[in-house]
Amino acid sequence: AAGVIQSPRHLIKEKRETATLKCYPIPRHDTVYWYQQGPGQDPQFLISFYEKMQSDKGSIPDRFSAQQFSDYHSELNMSSLELGDSALYFCASSRQGRSSANTEAFFGQGTRLTVV
Amino acid sequence: AQKVTQAQTEISVVEKEDVTLDCVYETRDTTYYLFWYKQPPSGELVFLIRRNSFDEQNEISGRYSWNFQKSTSSFNFTITASQVVDSAVYFCALSEVRTALIFGKGTTLSVSS
């Protein structure tokens, strides 16, 4: 079965550089979430999209932005990178449909970003 | 505001022991969803179970079982006859209607042979 695809899997950037992470949700899933997980931490919600519109916003720094495209893939853009941005970045997708029920979110394997 | 508390930071057991991971949640909504995810050393987050607030039935899946009690706002996870491959970080998570998952701090389970 198709899963959530994230690219790249690993990324090394220098301070003050920019990075773009990509996420390809499971086909027919209409909701995408982005999470940041620091070392030894729980995943922290950054932002989500439902049907290509931003639906919820968490603790996403102003230096970060995200969008969902017409083909439902999503990109997380990170600028002016700091050492503290080093983390595992997860994308997850789910199929909410028009119901209010929150279905399970399936996570990609994550992108490990290291800022040096 | 929603909150998930996993009071057990680390648990160590020997193979074949049963182990229960505790999860306590807080929410003001009457409709909410509870989840458990497993994160093995390789790093991916693996979905284990989802429960909605109207379904208090306990569930068993092989060696895994879950006990949902609204009266104590708990959603505990038991692994029976643990195995080395169960070693991982386990996260309990909560979401309200059309909101993102909020995770607990996780419990690191170490199973030795």
**Per-residue pLDDT tens for A80-113?**
999 999 999 999 999 876 665 667 889 999 999 9
Residues 1-30 (A) with a CB less than 8 A from some CB of B = none
Distance from C-alpha of A86 to C-alpha of A110, rounded to nearest angstrom:
13
pLDDT tens digits along A13-59: 999 999 999 999 999 999 999 999 999 999 999 999 999 999 999 99
Whether the CB of A112 is below 8 Å from some CB of chain B: the reply is yes
- The letter for the amino acid at A59 is S
Query: Residue A96's pLDDT is what?
Result: 78
- Using left for φ > 0, alpha for ψ between -120 and 50, and beta otherwise, residue A73 falls in beta
Per-residue pLDDT at A101 = 63
Tell me if chain B has a CB within 8 Å of the CB of A39: no
Residue B1 reports pLDDT greater than 90? no
**For residue B43, what pLDDT band results from cuts at 50, 70 and 90?**
very high
CA distance B113 to chain A (A): 24
Count chain A–chain B contacts defined by CB atoms under 8 A.
62
- Look up tokens 């039935």; give the residue: B57
- Per-residue confidence (pLDDT) for residue A95, from 0 to 100: 86
Q: Say what the pLDDT of residue B107 is.
A: 98
Give the span between the Cα atoms of A31 and A68, in whole angstroms.
Answer: 9
| pLDDT in the model for residue A103 | 74
Look at A101 and B52 and tell me if their CB atoms are within 8 Å: yes
In this predicted structure, what is the pLDDT of residue B99? 83
d(CA B17, nearest CA chain A) in Å: 26
Q: Is the pLDDT of residue B39 over 80?
A: yes
- Asked if the Cβ–Cβ distance from A56 to B52 is below 8 Å, we say no
* Average pLDDT over every residue of A60-65: 96
> What pLDDT, on the 0 to 100 scale, is given for residue A90?
97
Q: For strand A5-7 and strand A44-50, is the pairing parallel, antiparallel, or unpaired?
A: unpaired
